[in-house]
Structure formats: C-alpha cells, structure tokens
Structure 1
Amino acid sequence: MTADGQQLAAVPAAGAPATTAPALPSAPVSTPLAGVRKVAARRMVEAWAAPVFHLGVDVDMTRLLGADLRSRGATVTDAIVLACVRALQAHPQLNAHFADNVVTVFPSINVGLAVATDAGLTVPVLADLGGEALPGIAAKRKDVVARARAGKLAMKDITGGTFTVSNLGMLGIDRFDAILNPPQIAILAVGSTVQTPVVRDGAVTVAPLASFTLTCDHRAVDGATGAGLLADIRAALERGDGLE
C-alpha cells in the first residue's frame, strides 16, 4: 500500500514506473524473522485458520477525485479511512476483536494501514479516530507511515488496531481479497480506480470506479452486518462526506 498517495491508480499496472530489483546473492542467505515481521507472520497463520467471507462493491470515486484534498494536506487514503470510521460508528459490531470464542467490541476506533516498507509489510495503527475530521486523520497517517518506513515503529504502534485498510490501488491492482489481521474481525481491500462504462438513466456513460472488498471473520459477524458496513463506506465516499 502506498498510503501517502494523493490518488488511487488511474493507469494500468503497465504504466507504473519500474523499480530496480535487488541483485541476487552469490550464495543462499537465511534471515530469521524478528520484530514486526515476526509478529506479522504469526498473525498471517492465525488468519489463515479463520472461516472468512468476502463482500465486494464498486465505488464511484467521482466526488473523491474531484475534491481538493491536497490543499488540506490529505489524500484519497485519508478520505477512505474517514469513511471507514464513520461507517464503524454506525456498525460497532465490526470494530472488534475475536479471541478464545469471545467477541470484544471497542469504544475507540483504531484503524491499521497496511504499509510496504524495505523490511516488508507492516500495519501501523492510527489510534482513536472517532472524533477526527479529515485533517486529523491525515496528520496521524503521515506520522505513522513516516516512522514505519524509517523503521522506527514501536510495538505499541502496531497493536491495538480494531479495523484495517489495505490499499493496493496505486500499484495497479484492480481488486484483491485481503487476509484478516487477527484478532480483528474485518479488513478492507481497496483496488485501483478505473474508468468504467456504467448505465445511468438508461444511457451509457463512463465513471471512475474502484473495487472495495471487505473480508470478515464469520465466527464473529454475519453477512448482513458486513454488507451494511460496506454499503455505508460506499455511500459516504460517493456523497463526499467530510470532504467539504
């Protein structure tokens, strides 16, 4: 996830700038997992054992891409997080953990962002977002992403999340299913924005659509509840809530 990007990808993957791959070693190199990488590996194993379901919608990004986010120091990712926060306030059952057959719903909304770093994937947490508007979310995102990429995250920075967003749109990925981030019970995957033919009022037009896929732990939540959350996220983004 390029969490500090201004826009979701509007070009195909082939148009993305090339990166220089590291050279192959002259002999095998073994590196034991440690720190946040070790924690991430353990969580992936836990997630793989969970019975999950996936829900998907296409979101019209017209209002979002037309908003002057840059002047407010914000990005599309920040606006997506804001929409998630407001939807979680309406659907608190998904702002939760599941462990030892117990579902724990939290009063504080702490959103994790999947971030690619030189050391691998990490998920720093934007804590206590319930009362934040777009500028506040942007400030917290800039801080944790910068520290993640500098390798300066503490364990407290990657724990306590209650919901996660993973955005691969800027890497040209159209859609994907994200793996749960245990003990959280839901994670949102965001794909690239693509100009897509749609029918409106009986006529064909083109709109910038992005694929949003919600992964949920079926032990803790049912499909109707997950669908309600995803529908509210889409509605908030298509209305441009909080972008004024």
Structure 2
Amino acid sequence: MTEAPPGPQGTEEGTSVPLTGIRKAAAKQMVAAWAAPAFHLSTGVDMTEALKVRETIAGATVTDVIIRACAAALVQVPEMNAWYEDLSTRRFAQVNIGVAVATEAGLTVPVIHDASALDLAEIAERRRDAVQRARHGALKWADVSRGTFTISNLGMRDIDSFDAILNVPQVAILAVAATRPTPIPDGERGMRWRSVAQLTLSCDHRAVDGAAGAAFLEVVKAGIEAPIARPGG
C-alpha cells in the first residue's frame, strides 16, 4: 500500500494562520522594538505593604500600587517619561501609563492618562474599567494612545523574573514578576521572611542611561514599599 504524499493538511506542512488585528500590529511593533539598543536593570521589592491594598481600598490591586509608584517616579525622573524619535527625545509633562493586558485577541495596552494627578482609588477605578473594556474588545483609539510609559505585570503567573520588550517609541518599560517569600538580612536579628517581587526595567540606551534608570527604580521601590494610606487619611 502506497502512502499518500503529505499535503496542506499533513503534519509536515502544518497550517498557515495569518496574523490579523492586534497580533499583526504587535508583530510590527516588536520588530521596531528589537532594533532599539536596550539595557535592563533589576531590583527586589518588598511587596508586604502593597499586598495590603485590597484591605484598604475596595477593588484596588497591587498593580494599582505599582502604577502610582511609577507615576511618582516619572515626575521625579522626567527623562524616563519620554519617547525616542530620530536622534532626539520628546519629554512629556503629562504621565500616561500603559498597562499590558492579555486578551483573546492578543496583548493590548490601555493607557491610564494623567496618572500622576490621580490618587490610588482613582487609579484603581480607571484601571478596572480599562482592563474590562480591553477584554471585551471595547477600547477606542483614545484608550490606547499617547502612552509615555508601560507596565507589564506577570505577578499572577509563576514567573521569577523577565525582561519586557520596549513599547516603542517609549523609552522604558517595567516588568513585574511573581511575589515570593524571601529571606532578607535584618541586622542583629539575622534573617526575616518578606514577600519580594523582582522588578526589571528595560530602557532604550539611545535616550536614557543607567543612572537615570537606577534613580527611577529607587523611587518606584520606595513608593511600593511605603504603607498604603486609607482614603481621606
């Protein structure tokens, strides 16, 4: 008995599935991002206080604490709140933070506009609305445009650390990994266990240097580790 030659349905040929919509746009974006000379900076952050946010502000999550901390850092280190354009950078007065959201159609990045002017409860409200509309395919162009910085949070996944790809033309993106129980030195008391997450900042070296990136991460770390104030407190 003669075997039939493999055809379009055969396992050797496979099936071609063209990229469309969000995935097609993302593929083009990744090609541009890969051309940028990126460097990466990582630090461990104590998430103990941030994890209490659900008990303090209804509907808030750790992501909202990270957004708030990044907004403050972008104000203090303005060179990070920028786009790289042909041999120049464009800095922005308004802080517009994108949050990467996985949807059935692919990865999308709704933007929390003017994040530095919002308190934690307001950030949480806008983030919830944006994520819900992203997952229902209800975002408009205004919801995903004018971002000046991006956060990619995989803290809900079993990921120890990762480097996020730049969301060009933005000059930086922050990757947030899972929170792990971690022993850390505690002076004469020896070691203590704390909830620690690895943050990794990817930067476009054409626009910013390591000193600016390190300064930015220091402010983000301090903001995340600070106690959460109750609304009106």
Q: TM-score, normalised by structure 1?
A: 0.84
The aligned counterpart of 2:110 is 124
Flag the structure with larger Rg: 2
Instruction: Indicate how the Cα distance of structure 1 residues 103 and 242 shifts in structure 2: closer, same or farther if over 3 A, else same.
Output: farther
CA distance in 2, matches of 1:236, 1:214: 15
CA distance in 1, matches of 2:111, 2:201: 18
The aligned counterpart of 1:217 is 204
3-state SS of paired residue (2:115): coil
CA distance in 2, matches of 1:223, 1:71: 35
Pick from 36, 39, 43 the counterpart of residue 25 of structure 2.
Answer: 39
**Can you give the 5+ residue segments of structure 2 that lack an aligned partner in the other structure?**
1-8
**Can you give the 5+ residue segments of structure 1 that lack an aligned partner in the other structure?**
1-24
- Percent identity over the alignment is 50
Residues 100-151 of structure 1: per-residue CA shift (max 9 Å, x gap): 1220001111111111111111111111212100111111111111111011
3-state SS of paired residue (1:234): helix
3-state SS of paired residue (2:94): coil
CA distance in 1, matches of 2:105, 2:52: 35
Residues 186-215 of structure 1: per-residue CA shift (max 9 Å, x gap): 000000110011111131111111000000
Question: What amino acid does structure 1 have at the position aligned with 2:154?
Answer: L
Give the C-alpha shift of residue 158 in structure 1: 1.9
The aligned counterpart of 2:68 is 82
Pick from 106, 123, 127 the counterpart of residue 141 of structure 1.
Answer: 127
Give the C-alpha shift of residue 63 in structure 1: 1.2
Instruction: Indicate how the Cα distance of structure 1 residues 71 and 236 shifts in structure 2: closer, same or farther if over 3 A, else same.
Output: closer
The aligned counterpart of 2:45 is 59
- Structure 2 residue 183 is matched with structure 1 residue 191: no
In 1, are the aligned partners of 2:45 and 2:225 still within 8 Å (CA)? yes
The aligned counterpart of 1:150 is 136
Q: TM-score, normalised by structure 2?
A: 0.88
Alignment of 1:141-180 (within 5 A): 141-180=127-166
CA distance in 2, matches of 1:168, 1:181: 16
In 2, are the aligned partners of 1:134 and 1:242 still within 8 Å (CA)? no
Q: How many residues align?
A: 220
